[in-house]
Structure 1
Amino acid sequence: MPTLEPHQYRKVAESFGADAERYDRTRPAYPEALIARIAAAGADVLDVGCGTGIEARQLRDAGCAVLGVEPDARMAEFARRSGLDVEVSTFETWDAAGRTFDVVASGQAWHWVDPVAGAARASEVLRPGGLLVAFWHVFDPPAVVADVMATVFQRVMPVAALPKSATDAYDTMCDRAAAGMREAGGFGEAERWRYEWEREYTRDEWLDLMPTTGALTRLPAEELAEVLEAVGKAVDGVGGGFTMRYSTVAAAAVRV
């Protein structure tokens, strides 16, 4: 069986809306420095894979006019309830209807877009000098929690090989995004951005977030309970909470 690229896992890509309220409640916002840098590139922003609107609301608060494109109608409807304008479509098939933008941004979603077709589509809708930026949060929990997560994931969802670390996985995503921009043409050389920050989690807060991750959104209830029980015990073992180290990483290129 051929190995699929991330954007080809459509059932996973469109599974997050199963609990849109939990997703929006638990997923972290983006560093203000990143939001400010994106907003400085222009006021008209197209948010690809906008989900429930986490980064779109931040960009709107920074003074941008934001249009979201989101393939999951449930996520789109949640975002609309906060006053955002969202159109339901995959980005590759979305009809721009002649509209152009200063920025095409994608938070936690560009790996669900064909990296070459997506970059080519972005080039079509960006004004000259416009910015394409894809960005992700890298989760880096304490080693004891990370080790338990890796062990229980491998037991419940065996895969041939796991990345050595979350950083390796997201570096690969940035590499793929940058390569897609290069292959599509119409962009300058992609830059890498990185923002380091931390957030405190209680046991309950972390277990509330975990079911919103792509590895777990489609897991049967019994197996999800097994994962959460094991991770919960690990968090209890480090005092009932922990400091999550985050890196928010981005690949960004300017349309020439």
Structure 2
Amino acid sequence: MTDQAAWAPTSFGARAHDYDRLRPDYPAEALAETLAALGGGPPGTALDIGCGTGKLGAALTTLGHEVTGVEPDARMAEVASARGLAVEVGTFEAWDPGGRRFDMVACGQAWHWLSTGERAVKAARCLRAGGRILLAWNFGSYEPDGAALLGRVYASALPGGLPTGSGGRASLSESDLDGYAEELRSHGFRQLTRTAVPWRTVLTSRQFCALLATESRHLALSEPVRRRLLNEVTARLDAEAGGEIHMVYRCLVVGASAAG
């Protein structure tokens, strides 16, 4: 019923273009507000860890930063490069900065995929003295009617629930961010801050199911099971919700400054 390869950080590349088209963007205001809380300052160089298709990098570019991305999946990196982002293919853990230090290290929707024993240490080494780190996630939910409808569909079509993945990596919640903030503090980062920016969007039933198909917990389902589930979601949204779903997002950013 499940595909264990879907728990690898390179699993998303199979649907790179849908990921880029449908995964939520990062509101530039959330990033700007976090940087302001850390003292502001002019734009500089930024390292985007696990840059994916370049969504976070694009938001940082709009704020004037010069962004270099590191991405383990060449298919995702190709899409990011098409956006104009400079991307180096490889895992962050194995990547060699070649002596470079950045004004900012950023990571969107990917910190929880990195090695817990290495990520904060290496991020600090990639920063100049006093540089900033931004860890960003979009957490999505649904308006009540949509949530109730989806609850009925999943209870019927997938009574065992979605798989949770190795180490719970696919079942991240907002409460996990407290642990990430403490992790940064324990590795010498200071001025810990958190920003939350709510926003909303409406997706058609087909857009929504294409979005679900980019998420690791759905990618982990076998192809026949995933297809049946998403076909049922599409049919029920079309029949009972006018063919659309109202998404409610919160962009959460954990920010901190390196010592120096």
Q: TM-score, normalised by structure 1?
A: 0.85
Residues 153 and 133 of structure 1, relative CA distance in 2, 3 Å threshold: farther
SS at match of 2:198: strand
CA contact (8 A) 1:144 1:234 kept: no
Q: How does 1:112-151 map to 2 (within 5 A)?
A: 112-142=113-143, 143-148=147-152, 150-151=154-155
1:65-93, Cα deviation, whole Å (9 max, x unpaired): 00001111111122112221111121122
Q: What number of residue pairs does the alignment pair up?
A: 242
Question: Any stretches of 5+ residues in structure 2 without a counterpart?
Answer: none
Q: Deviations over 1:28-70 (max 9, x none)?
A: 2111202434675542110001001112122223211000011
Q: For 2:253, which of 236, 250, 253 is the aligned residue?
A: 250
1:212 correspondence with 2:214: yes
**Structure 1 partner of 2:109:** 108
Structure number with the bigger relative contact order (C-alpha 8 A, sep ≥ 6) is 2
Letter in 2 for 1:155: G
**1: CA distance, partners of 2:109 / 2:209:** 19
Partner residue in 1 for 2:160? 155
Stretch of structure 1 that moved more, 109-118 or 203-212: 109-118
SS in structure 2 at match of 1:155:
coil
Which amino acid in structure 2 is aligned with residue 243 of structure 1? H
Q: Does 1:24 align with 2:12?
A: no
1:117 CA displacement: 1.6
What is the 5 A alignment of 1:181-200? Answer: 181-183=184-186, 185-200=187-202
Name segments (4+ residues, structure 1) moved above 6 Å: none
Q: Is the 8 A contact 2:34 2:194 kept in 1?
A: no
Work out whether residues 12 and 217 of structure 1, in 8 Å CA contact, stay in contact via their aligned partners in 2: no
* Match of residue 176 from structure 2: 173
Match of 1:44 in 2: 45
> For 1:190, what is the secondary structure of its paired residue?
strand
- Match for 1:135: what amino acid? A
Point out the more displaced range, 138-147 or 47-56: 138-147
| Change in CA separation of 1:153 and 1:118 when aligned onto 2, cut-off 3 Å | farther
Aligned counterparts of 2:9 and 2:153: Cα–Cα separation in 1: 22
Note if contact 2:53-2:77 (Cα within 8 Å) is conserved in structure 1: yes
Contact 2:31 2:253 in 1 (8 A): no
Going from structure 1 to structure 2, the CA distance change for 1:204 and 1:45 (only over 3 Å counts) comes to same
| Distance in 1 (alpha carbons) for counterparts of 2:164 and 2:55 | 31
Query: Partners in 2 of 1:159 and 1:66 — Cα distance?
Result: 33
Q: Which TM-score applies when normalising by structure 2?
A: 0.83
**What one-letter code is carried by the residue in structure 2 that aligns with 1:242?**
I
What is the alpha-carbon distance in structure 2 between the residues aligned to residue 100 and residue 148 of structure 1?
A: 50
Check the 8 A contact 1:15/1:218 in 2, yes or no.
no
Shift of 1:156: 6.1
Secondary structure at 2:173's aligned position in 1? Answer: helix
* Identity across the alignment (%): 35
Q: Find the aligned partners of 1:145 and 1:244 in 2 and give their Cα distance.
A: 13
Please report how far the alpha carbon of residue 195 of structure 1 lies from its aligned counterpart in structure 2 after TM superposition. Answer: 0.7
**Stretch of structure 1 that moved more, 115-124 or 139-148:** 139-148
Distance (whole Å) between structure 2 residues aligned to residue 33 and residue 77 of structure 1: 27
- RMSD of the TM alignment (CA)? 2.5
How far residue 154 of structure 1 moved from its aligned partner, in angstroms, is 4.8
Question: Is the contact made by 1:187 and 1:255 (CA closer than 8 Å) also made in structure 2?
Answer: yes
What amino acid is aligned across from residue 25 of structure 1 in structure 2?
R
Amino acid paired to 1:252: G
Instruction: Report how far residue 157 of structure 1 moved.
Output: 4.0
Deviation for aligned residue 1:158: 5.2
Matched position secondary structure for 1:92 = coil
Task: Provide the C-alpha distance between the structure 2 equivalents of 1:173 and 1:153, rounded to a whole number of angstroms.
Answer: 26
Unaligned stretches of 5+ residues in structure 1: 1-8
Distance in structure 2 (CA, Å) of the matches to 1:70 and 1:145: 36
